[in-house]
Structure 1
Amino acid sequence: MTHVFDEAITVTARPDGVFSATTHPAYDNMVGPFGGITAATVVHALQQHPDVLGQPLALTINYAAPVATGTWDLHTRIVRTNRTNQHWTFTIEQDGHTVSTGSAVFGIHRDTWADTEATRPPAPEPADVAAQDFPDFVAWARNYDKRFVVGGIDDKSDDSTSTLWLRDLPQRPLDYPALASMTDAFFPRVFLRHGTFMPAGTISLTTYFHATPDDLAAQGSRHVLATARGARFGNGHFDQHGQIWGTDTLLATTTQLVYFKNPQG
């Protein structure tokens, strides 16, 4: 039986080198599909390209317009391939219009000196934290087991930090597309600051993949620990910075630019 996530990121390679994908209702968001599933589909498609080098290292996707329900096309171009890394640009086209642009870097992992300066936030075990649902109109969230340690969807706080245990639902072994999707699984930080839903959406998402294939295999289908916060809010935009941790390994970091409007009333 195919996992719903794998159904949602399915792509078909055409003879002209363009990948075709179709939106999946399980990952609908308030407007258009969940941005994380679009990012995951791009990563999955690039991994299928016959000329790809190595594994994903970085992805930036700019959401120029909402993707409409239906089929969309991913146009990719290799800008340059070096000895250990490869640079891509891409556009997502739908009905004759560009709805997203972006870039990606793939590369070969080499055995070098390593250290992690970031600190994994403290958290009780996932079994000791209650799962929390999002409202029904946020369809994509039903595909994740979400256990908030701090900063839940119903909270209001002067600190925009959320830390939560996160896992695909049903369970699914972690891979690069799933990791890309999870880096967008944080609800907009402005919701937490105001304690209410308000018009908001990601303009640009960048993800850095620190995980090696061995890290992903070691993680398996266990919960990751995800944490995010904003730095500055105002003038209709804010930034949002996040980390995705495995058991003791930093798997990915991410940053977003998000637009928002003041809540009504």
Structure 2
Amino acid sequence: MTETLTALHPLDDAIRLEPTGPGAYRGATSPAYWNMAGPFGGTTAAVLMKAVLDHPERRGRPVAQTVNFCAAIAEGAFDVTVRLVRDGRSTQHWQVEMLQGGVVVTTASTVTGPDRETWNHAPGAPPSVPRAEQTPVLDTSGRAGWRGRYEFRYERGAPIPGAASAETPQPALSHNWIRDEPARPLDYVSLAAICDTFVVKILQVRGDIPPVATVSLSTYFMADEAALARQGARPVLGVSDARVFRHGFNDQSAEIWSDDGHLLAVSHQVVWFKS
């Protein structure tokens, strides 16, 4: 590996894309962000986000992204295609596909738009929790793949195997500080990935992990570039919860807050589980 590649942050290495034609890119999965049976879904979302950000016709910043995980992603190379579906005055709408061997494995719908000065109102507020430096770091030693690529500091809801059971389920709410490991200044690709760093809620609620997979993940970006720059590489606060586990699916929602109390992103996903 060259010195240039060695100097890359692991996330930037994982989301590297080489143009192969108009709206077409080639990338590869990264062992640094491997999950149980494929790449960490957050990096997949980040790859598809980067493909839109790299497109020469893109205007404005990310506003929304919905990623649909259609099939298992195998280790190795993949292709990404980006198409501008609608170019409006206030928003652009993009369709993105990830393919392996010519077969679609993931799709995304992304909305971008320019920031405008408008009326502002922020009735939401983050929970009152100790600051990151006052919260112990979760020990992730010995955990392979993507879990070692983040620093987690749980104030409540730490996922502890065996701490709950199907007969005595525990609350799904969690509060935790999160940052890239090693530290990396926050941007839209890292924020897209961080929104998927919450451990599947069935572990927290039931105490075990059956076969599980995120089916669809939607993220709404409330922060502008200036807000991300102010946050820098400091930990962000994640608030996550679930409301129902039924028919082999459960919901999972999250909020990402800056350390000075500004809402950066919200996300919602539906998770399949085998029971």
TM-score of the alignment, normalized to the shorter chain, above 0.5: yes
Q: Which runs of 5+ in 2 are unaligned?
A: 1-6
In the alignment, which residue of structure 2 is the partner of 1:105? 111
Structure 1: runs of 5 or more not aligned: none
Q: Which amino acid is the alignment partner of residue 255 of structure 1?
A: H
1:168 is aligned to 2:180: yes
CA distance in 2, matches of 1:163, 1:112: 31
Instruction: Give the AA of the match of 1:253.
Output: V
Partner of 2:272: 259
Counterpart amino acid of residue 267 in structure 2: T
Determine whether 1:44 maps to 2:50. yes
**Are 1:55 and 2:42 an aligned pair?**
no
Indicate whether 1:220 and 2:226 are aligned. no
CA contact (8 A) 1:87 1:104 kept: yes
Query: Which aligned pairs between 1:224-263 and structure 2 lie closer than 5 A?
Result: 224-246=236-258, 247-262=260-275
Q: Deviations over 1:175-219 (max 9, x none)?
A: 000000000000111111111222211000000000100000000
Query: What does residue range 1-265 of structure 1 map to in structure 2 within 5 Å?
Result: 1-134=7-140, 136=142, 138-154=144-160, 155-156=163-164, 158-246=170-258, 247-262=260-275
What SS is found at the alignment partner of 1:118? coil
Q: Distance in 1 between matches of 2:209 and 2:249?
A: 15
TM-score, with structure 2 as normaliser = 0.92
CA offset at residue 158 of structure 1? 2.4
Tell me how far apart the structure 2 counterparts of residues 206 and 165 of structure 1 sit (CA, whole Å): 21
Q: Which residue identity lines up with residue 12 of structure 1 in the other structure?
A: E
Structure 1: distance between partners of 2:143 and 2:210: 14
Deviations along 1:9-40, whole A, 9 cap, x unmatched?
11111124311111000000011000000101
SS, match of residue 197 in structure 2: coil
Distance 1:11 1:182 in 2: 20
The aligned amino acid for 1:51 is E
Q: CA deviation at 1:137?
A: 5.0
Q: Pairwise CA RMSD of aligned residues?
A: 1.2
**Structure-1 separation of matches of 2:93 and 2:100:** 24
One-letter code aligned to 1:234 = R
Alignment CA distance shift 1:137-1:30 (3 Å): farther
Q: State the identity as a percent.
A: 37
Q: Distance in 1 between matches of 2:32 and 2:69?
A: 20
CA contact (8 A) 1:29 1:137 kept: no
Q: Could you tell which deviates more after superposition, 106-115 or 12-21?
A: 12-21
Q: Is the 8 A contact 1:134 1:153 kept in 2?
A: no
Report how many aligned residue pairs link the two structures: 262
Stretch of structure 1 that moved more, 155-164 or 253-262: 155-164
Q: Which amino acid aligns with 1:236?
A: G
* SS at structure 2 position matched to 1:111: coil
Partner of 2:119: helix, strand, or coil? Answer: coil
Kept in 1: contact 2:52–2:94 (CA 8 A): no
